[in-house]
Structure 1
Amino acid sequence: MTSLELVRQRLARFAQREADGSPLYQHLGAHAADDPEVAGLLTAAPEQFAHATLLLAAAHRLVQAEPFHELSNYYPSLGGTYGADEQTWPLFRSFVLDRAERMRALISSRPTQTNEVGRAALLYPAIAMVKGPVGLLEVGCSAGLLLGLDQYGYRYQTEQAGPLAAGPAKAALGLHCALELAPGADLPKIPKSVKVAAKVGLDRAPADLTDEDTYAWLEACVWADQPERLRLFGVAATVQRKSPPEFVPGDAVADLGKAAARLPTELPLVVLTSSVLSYVPGGDFVRALAALDRPAWWVSHDSYAEGLAHVLPGRDDLSGGGTLGLVRFEDGEVVSAKALAKTGLHGQRLVWLP
């Protein structure tokens, strides 16, 4: 069980700092933080998984199962058109508390498994900096949709050079990302393609897209008032089913070496984390990377405190939001570590650093 005080702090932080772009979830998170009964539902989760997104995903899943409930009017993912108003919280509160047992069952058994495929647009320039073809290992992969990043199309909007296109010309999935420059920075090179010769996903419970209930849960983890993200998830899932990666069930730290061993040793190893280290101790993960028996690149997309701070300390300017980094490990040591960009949470924006 997780303490009520901790989950209320996390709900408040989510509403204040993390729910940008989601008026519905910002509204629900703020009210839940002030409501011990609703916040208390989240205490059913282990501490490492007891985040606001899990409470909201569980509620979303139950609204999916009752699409004619009045609350669905506030869920664009289910065709709702109402904005958050004075009725939203009372409806939500009564809905989840009337189904408290089912909410706790989901919260205690299902981790948040976000498949934010839009983040592929953030990761593409970093992976392109490693001379390929590469062996790509995604840690905390869920359904492995980011492992398909070499199959997606990209359009980066820049002030300096206009739109920059990358990826296969006839890609089924196209992603858009604003690419800005911090003072003193130069535009990164955006090659037309990245070469990925082998792919492996490591997750405690890899998500099977062919399982109907699992697929519904993954949809529920997408924020309910961002239907475009839901559409992109559906397209990426279709792409993934045509050429699924290999999955290794296991722990991000204890089983990292086992998963890396599934990739050919002649390929440069690129280990990818994206919004994962809030669930995994960052220091332990960095030590596991250093302990690999081969050189490795780490493409890190997490908050600075959870990720790059363990190899690139003293960069308080990187606090807040997401940070994209590229780190090289060899013979148990960090050979190089660089913060590449500040990022938007769901892939909508890159601010490239000098």
Structure 2
Amino acid sequence: MTIASVYAEFAAREARGVSPTYERLTQAISEDARVLALLETVPPPQRQPNLLLGVVRLLGGPVDDASAFHDFSISHWPAIEAHLRTRATQTNEPGRCALLLPVLAALPQPLALLEVGASAGLCLYPDRYSYRYGTDELGSGEPTLDCSLTGAEPPTNLPEIVWRAGLDLNPLQVTDPADVAWLEALIWPEHHHRRERLRAAIAIAAQDPPMLVRGDLVDDLPGLAAQAPAGATLVIYHTSVLYQVPADRRRAFADLARTLPGHRISVEAPHVVPFRDLPPAPDQASHNVLALDDVPLAWTRGHGQAMAWFA
């Protein structure tokens, strides 16, 4: 795909109906020859819309006007390029725990959680949050994670977690203001509810900071998994992470994960973790696939706002 088509598709499939600001802006970027030419100067993984938009917002740039965005990008390109080359879209969306919960709650308890691509580790606390699936509510803490669930009954119990760890090439710290600023820059402009629940989740994690290990998802996974306590069900999981990993390393990671004890949960785009004979997605929006041990279970939306169970 060309860079222009990536931005046009982002506008049509990911931002439409979710962020009017980003829909308008990414459509304009797809037609902006000068900004597209600048994006050509960075490696392909660093050209993605969420990364560019997050960097510009981190630097104080405008995203609500395409012309102002163009001017800011041109005049501040050296700073933007520097951030693009060193950062990743570490959107640490606690709302994705609402997608994990039905699977986690059904596994043999207690659990030892190991998240690959953990960012700041906010998805390592599914037992500390509250959930609302339609009219069904579970838990008593903040934040409350709302998820529209179809095709299955909502979970009725929270998991019992006795160990939690995260693996990331560049882990973020909930106690570092600069890392928190980057997490907030990745929240889409109109999503005030996501910003509020991010802050609530950070407050929970700051009281009991997670064990985050800087490392590679293949080279360093076995050593970290070996630290999980005996008697707990090891659960290795990842959500919207593997699209940033080269295809050969994805395959090596999947092959390795199958050799480790316990279970693996994936929530990834179907072109990133492919499955045969998937049913049609609920609509034309961008969806990920929730899977347990390579068995697809449900279509999910990127921020955990909806899940359509088909298994």
TM-score by length of 2: 0.91
Farther off after superposition, 9-18 or 34-43: 34-43
1:251 maps to which of 216, 225, 239 = 216
Letter of the structure 1 residue corresponding to residue 305 of structure 2 = Q
Residues matched between the structures, number: 304
Q: CA deviation at 1:240?
A: 0.4
* Cα shift at 1:286: 0.8
Give the unaligned 5+ runs of structure 2. none
Task: Pick one of 296, 317, 324 that aligns with 2:290.
Answer: 324
Equivalent residue, structure 2, for 1:128: 105
Matched, 1:15 2:34: no
Q: What SS does structure 2 have at the residue aligned with 1:317? A: coil
2:146 to 147, 151, 176: 176
> How do residues 282-301 of structure 1 correspond to structure 2 at under 5 angstroms?
282-292=250-260, 295-301=261-267
Q: Is the 8 A contact 1:49 1:112 kept in 2?
A: no
Partner of 2:169: 204
Could you say which residue in structure 2 is the equivalent of 1:224?
189
CA distance 1:142–1:43, shift in 2 (3 Å) = farther
Following the alignment from structure 1 to structure 2, what is the Cα–Cα distance between the partners of residues 43 and 262? 42
Give runs of aligned pairs for residues 253-272 of structure 1, distance below 5 A.
253-272=218-237
Aligned partner of residue 209 in structure 1, secondary structure: coil
Q: CA deviation at 1:315?
A: 2.7
Q: What residue number does 2:34 align with?
A: 37
Q: Which residue of 2 aligns with 1:330?
A: none
Amino acid at match of 1:26: E
TM-score, normalising length from structure 1?
0.81
- TM-superposed CA distance for 1:301, in Å, is 0.7
5+ long unaligned stretches in structure 1: 75-87, 158-162, 182-186, 328-336
Paired residue secondary structure (1:55):
helix
Deviations 1:223-250, CA, capped at 9 Å, x for gaps = 1221211111111001100111111111
Deviation of 1:192 (Å): 2.3
Percent identity of equivalent pairs:
33
Q: Assess if the C-alpha contact under 8 Å between 1:41 and 1:103 holds in 2.
A: no
* Aligned partner of residue 291 in structure 2, secondary structure: strand
Shift of 1:212: 1.8
Render the CA deviation track for 1:248-284: whole Å, top value 9, x for unaligned: 1111222221221221243211011100111123322
CA RMSD of aligned residues (A): 2.0
- Residues 1:313 and 2:276 aligned together: yes
Report the more deviating stretch, 5-14 or 340-349: 5-14
Q: Give the match's secondary structure for 1:278.
A: helix
Which structure's CA Rg is the greater one? 1
Say if 2:296 is the partner of 1:339. yes
Give the superposition deviation at 1:206.
0.4
Measured in 2, the distance between the counterparts of 1:228 and 1:41 equals: 33
Tell me whether 1:214 sits opposite 2:191 in the alignment. Answer: no
Q: Decide whether aligned partners of structure 1 residues 279 and 137 sit closer, same or farther in structure 2, where only a CA change above 3 A counts.
A: same
SS in 1 for 2:232: coil
Q: Confirm or deny that 1:95 pairs with 2:72.
A: yes
